[in-house]
Amino acid sequence: MLQPPPDQTRPGAEPGARPAVLLDAVLFEAVLFDRDGTLIEDVPYNGDPDLVRPVPGARAALDRLRAAGLRLGVVTNQSGLAGGRFTEDDLARVNARVEELLGPFDTWQVCPHDGDAGCACRKPAPGLVLAAAAALGTRPDRCVVVGDIGRDMAAAGAAGATGILVPTEVTRAEEVAAAPAVAGDLDAAAGLILRRQRILKPATGSVGAGHGHRPRTLLAVRADSAGDVLVTGPAIRALAAGADRVVLLCGPRGRAGAELLPGVDEIIEHRLPWIDPDPEPVRRHGMEALIDRLAAVRADGAVVFTSFHQSALPLAVLLRMAGTPRVAAISDDYPGTLLDVRHRVPLGIPEAERALSLAVAAGYPLPPNDDGRLRLRADRTLDRMPPGEAAEPGFVVVHPGASVAARACPPDRCGEIVAALAAAGHRVLVTGGPGERRLTASVAARGGIDLGGRTDMGQLAGVIARASCLVVGNTGPAHLAAATGTPVVSLFAPTVPFGQWGPYRVPWVRLGDATAPCRHTRASTCPVADHPCLSRVDPAEVVAAVHRLAHRMPQQALEEVA
């Protein structure tokens, strides 16, 4: 049986004590730091406390986080123990010196193994992060991991935690490109953590959106694809908690996702030509019909959710013409009198938090019992399985299609991935929509079970919920996985930032070339020959990623550490 890493509790703490969970935390409860190269200068195999040198600004950054009520921990690989480079007493003295210089940490999690041990704790495995979360009485998705190299970010992802990379001279360019978030130093990392907390915390007296009473009806708008609608789910639930009724305006591509969201009472489907990727001409009678439909809602207010490259102002004009008394949206452009709440969000914030921050700014925070993760309506997902072989849990799902061609892994490579997973002993289900039957048939022929065209979105969510892992590109089913808690091997084309659009608060492993020339182009069709960002994914890497996501510390070990 795998052994848990030793937990070195800071001096003066009661042995075995479990720190209390932060009841007022908005998003994060703990920040976990790599030690060498992140908190202190990297001295290879250091067993001498006199050689400990904090990186510039470390103490001040840590104290900012402590003052905000966040618990702090250290998660560090120390293979020098296994190699005999230093003793456990040496390690304890070095760690004590770190605390003397930087202040106390609430937990220390150390992997003493070398790289050949195959343990569950050595980063990039998630064991240290999982153990630290357990020791602090919280969940990994309520933790941030701050480190200086790719394996720190990989451990965070595989655990379901948030990762922030603080590069040094030894950090490789591809590690920087692949990181969910990057900060220039520890102070900037602390600022990013606190800013993400702050934008989700309502201002004093803001609840109720200034109406003085509970709104009867709120109109929410997300006129984009199903994946975009799904990541807006926490914000929709916030509106539903503050109003008697929520009407959601969405486009035809997002309707299937809208039907799965808790808190939606009615759906209006309309294609908005300034949002839809295949827009129809703007015609007066169409806009007048939409104005009439919006007026019939008789909403007390509207909250218009958009992606960072979209404008809410055209719809705001129509809402004003429909008589909507209060309109809130994110807008960098000057809105004049179109918006009552003009909200701004820094770049790089995950889309789910970006949308939720708008709901908060409009006066509608999540209730205290809602943790802000993606959610689905159970009555339209988990109980709606397709007949046949998908009923037994424990399989791996491969979803080869994508709503945008540039984000899809090439079919031949997907087939090789299915073959590799099957050869490794996994039962593989291949999923896709009604228009993807030829694709799923060719991919499944390499050793999988073809479910192409056999599931609607609710049934697909049910399949994914019972899977041990989902292998998928940046497309709607990745967000279904996040909403059902299913780990994701993300074949992520870098056309959009991973930190904004990657699987949200669920364990993940990212594969693909994050430095490809298509990086941050938002291209819908691959602008580079041979689709190099995904066509070169090694199927063996996918098998290893599935193994990493399943390779977690036994529950008994976690309980012993905690």
Catalytic-role residue among 34, 224, 228, 300? 34
Instruction: Check whether the bond before 19 is cis (ω within 30° of 0).
Output: no
34 is catalytic: yes
Do the bridges between strand 449-450 and strand 341-343 make them parallel or antiparallel, or are there none, so unpaired? unpaired
Residue 163 · residue 156 · CB < 8 Å = yes
DSSP state of 51: G
Buried/exposed 359-385: b ≥16 CB within 10 Å, e otherwise: bbbbbbbbeeeeebbbbbbeebbbebb
DSSP string, 429-481: EE---GGGHHHHHHHHTTT-EE-TTS--HHHHHHHHHT-SEEEEESSHHHHHH
| Residue 36 backbone dihedrals phi, psi, to 5 degrees | -80, 125
Identity of the residue numbered 561: V
Separation in Å, CA 536 to CA 25, 172, 442, 508, 533: 41, 19, 19, 19, 7
Separation in Å, CA 386 to CA 98, 378, 424: 55, 15, 26
Angle at 152 between CA 147 and CA 154, to 5 degrees: 145
DSSP string, 311-359: -SHHHHHHHHHTT-S-EEEE-SS--TTS-SEEE---TT--HHHHHHHHH
Distance CA 526, CA 543 (A): 26
Distance CA 184, CA 172 (A): 14
- Is residue 193 helix, strand or coil? helix
- Is residue 101 helix, strand or coil? helix
Closest C-alpha to 142, from 197, 76, 182: 197
Catalytic-role residue among 36, 106, 450, 513? 36
340 is catalytic: no
| Residue 512 backbone dihedrals phi, psi, to 5 degrees | 115, 160
- Is residue 179 helix, strand or coil? coil
Active-site residue numbers? Answer: 34, 36
